[in-house]
Chains A and B, each alone.
Chain A
């Protein structure tokens, strides 16, 4: 699991994840993601287009970040989920409250 953090105009945080967002993956990027997304207290978009697998521990990390940002008065939108990953979100019942949208333009609109 790899995490790339960049800052965009706004400023907003863009987090690009690549690999398997399972327990091992969430353990690997958890601290970096929390520090880079939540601690900065900026709106954030999370690109999952490079994520091939997600488990409940991966969803837990995303949920923790979204809640952390909300506690700071900011929003986080997730986009680019592959169909198999999208199905897990739908089955988790968290698809709507996690602000999961199809692509980057929708994500940027969601946090505007």
Chain B
């Protein structure tokens, strides 16, 4: 749904199925502005990593349809701005420790890469805890 400022607003259950639904809606919203393949890849990667982090780690359950995630997407001439909000466990990805790079395959632990990828793919990343909500704003350069 578009608001009066032509931003895309989505409210989704905190489930794995929501991630693909969000991706499709965001790509449809961005299509008229003709994003580059690189921008599309970055947007898709950030969407998946942030939303899956909420799904997997934001609540007591691993896939909790009773929780919801809000997403607002704004397309500007030089960036795509995405604001994620959820009422899950407080988590600030801007200060979370970077994933330790393993030296060998035996040392490698599956998981924990998502936030690192969000940092590397975004132009800016800002976090606030407001009214018991995690609010994460991510800007992707066009």
Q: Do A24 and B16 touch across chains, with their CB atoms under 8 A apart?
A: yes
**Max count, chain B CB within 10 A of own CB: residue among A57, A67, A88, A98:** A57
CB distance B44 to A53 under 8 Å? yes
Please tell me the size bucket of the interface on B. 20 to 34
Interface assignment of A56: CB less than 8 Å from any CB of chain B:
yes
Flag whether B70 is at the interface (Cβ < 8 A).
no
Main secondary structure of the interface of B (DSSP, over half): helix
Tell me whether B128 is interfacial, beta carbon within 8 Å: no
Flag whether B111 is at the interface (Cβ < 8 A): yes
A59 and B113 form a contact (CB under 8 A)? yes
CB closest residue in chain B, given A64: B110
Residues A91-105 near B (CB distance < 8 A): 91-94, 97-98
Whether A70 pairs with B105 at a CB distance below 8 angstroms is: yes
Q: B120 — which chain A residues lie within 8 A by C-beta?
A: 91
B residues in contact with A63, CB < 8 Å:
108, 110
* B117: Cβ under 8 A from any A Cβ: yes
Q: A23-B16, A59-B113, A70-B106 are in contact. Are A93 and B44 (CB under 8 A)?
A: no
CB contacts under 8 Å to A, within B70-116, are 99, 101-106, 108, 110-114, 116
* Chain A minimum-CB-distance residue to B45: A55
Residues of chain B contacted by A22 (CB below 8 angstroms): 19-20, 44, 48
Interface mask (A1-12 → B, CB under 8 Å = 1, otherwise 0):
000000000000
Write the chain B residue with the least CB distance to A70. B105
When C-beta atoms are compared, the residue in chain A nearest to B42 turns out to be A84
B116 near A91: Cβ-Cβ < 8 Å: yes
Q: Are B49 and A97 in contact (CB under 8 A)?
A: no
Quick check: A91 and B41 within 8 Å, CB to CB? no
A56 B117 Cβ-Cβ under 8 A: yes
State whether the Cβ of B37 lies closer than 8 Å to any Cβ in chain A: yes
What residues make up the interface of B, taking CB atoms closer than 8 Å to A?
16, 19-20, 37-38, 41, 44-45, 48-49, 52, 99, 101-106, 108, 110-114, 116-117, 120-121
